[in-house]
Amino acid sequence: MAQTVTIGEQKVCPESESLKFSTTPTPQVENPSDSDSTALVRSLDKNKHELGDFFQMTEVNPTFVAISETKLKPNFIVNINIPGFNFVHNPSQTNTGGVGLYINSKLTYRLRNDLNLQHVGYKSLFIETPTSSGKPFVIGVIYHHPTHAFPPFQDEFIKLVTHLENKNCEYLIGGDFNCNLLKYHEQSSVTNFVDSLASCGCISLFNKPTRFSKNCTPSLLDHIYTNICDEKKMLELLFIKFLIIYQFL
């Protein structure tokens, strides 16, 4: 029976047998940068088929896919399964928000609910996977609702990455932060956020717009952060493998 894991509960999803959530060990990755392909996607119900089609057409086989605004409620009935992936998510009680991760079925992982940001205006989800180096590798996805104040979110996120650094974890955390990094030189709040993260060893992987539209100015609201500073690993992560941001509007 296929399963979908929901934070705070487990529920059987009978719509498809294509997704198998196994609690038995699967082969662990040798190093996170050796096999990482990531994608950030918004609005799961509307874009699941486009995402699956993209993987088939391009033969991309990601390690995980981060969904930054699933818009899935706790008792959703849509079929969100993609063959070859497990799905875990933290649902929203409203028509916005919610986060999820499609995780390659070959990847060994465990949920890290203890890392979730504790605020009604945010949604987050974290998993941890072992690596050959012995360092835990944490994968996370976050959604920060634009109507909620950013400073409290900033404080909690900085606390999170500081905690991971102190625990000697490598991490890759992405999502819809609703903070336009293109305003780094114009808004002190953005400058303070980026500089504070940098002081914690946390770097942003993008400095170019991730959203484009004929009717609005390009923006960089979708972020991916990491503390992987090794030049060889970063080159593999960014250029040899696939690191993709999708913005389906």
- Residue 147, judged by CB atoms within 10 A of its CB (0-12, 13-18, 19+), counts as exposed
How large is the angle between the packed helices 188-199 and 150-166, nearest 10 degrees? 10
Q: Once rounded to an integer, what is the mean pLDDT over residues 22-28?
A: 28
pLDDT at 18: 25
Starting at the earlier edge strand, list the strands of the sheet with 110-111: 110-111, 122-129, 137-144, 170-176, 222-226, 203-204
pLDDT at 44: 62
- For the record, the structure tokens of 239 come out as 């250029």
Burial 6-39 (b: 16+ CB within 10 A, else e): bbeeeeebeeeeebebeeeeeeebebbbebbbbb
The contacts of residue 187 (CB under 8 Å, 6+ apart) are: 180
- For the record, the structure tokens of 59 come out as 């033969």
Which of 29-38, 73-82, 87-96, 239-248 is least confident? 239-248
What are 179-218's pLDDT values in tens digits?
A: 999 999 999 999 999 999 999 999 998 888 887 777 888 9
pLDDT at 40: 54
Which is nearest to 223 in space by CA: 137, 144, 149, 163?
144
* Domains along the sequence of the chain with CATH: 3-21+29-245 (3.60.10.10)
Q: Per-residue pLDDT for 155 more than 90?
A: yes
Distance, in Å, from the CA atom of 179 to the CA atom of 196, rounded to the nearest integer, reads 14
What are 47-103's pLDDT values in tens digits?
A: 667 777 766 776 667 788 888 878 787 776 667 788 888 999 998 877 778 898 988
pLDDT at 241: 36
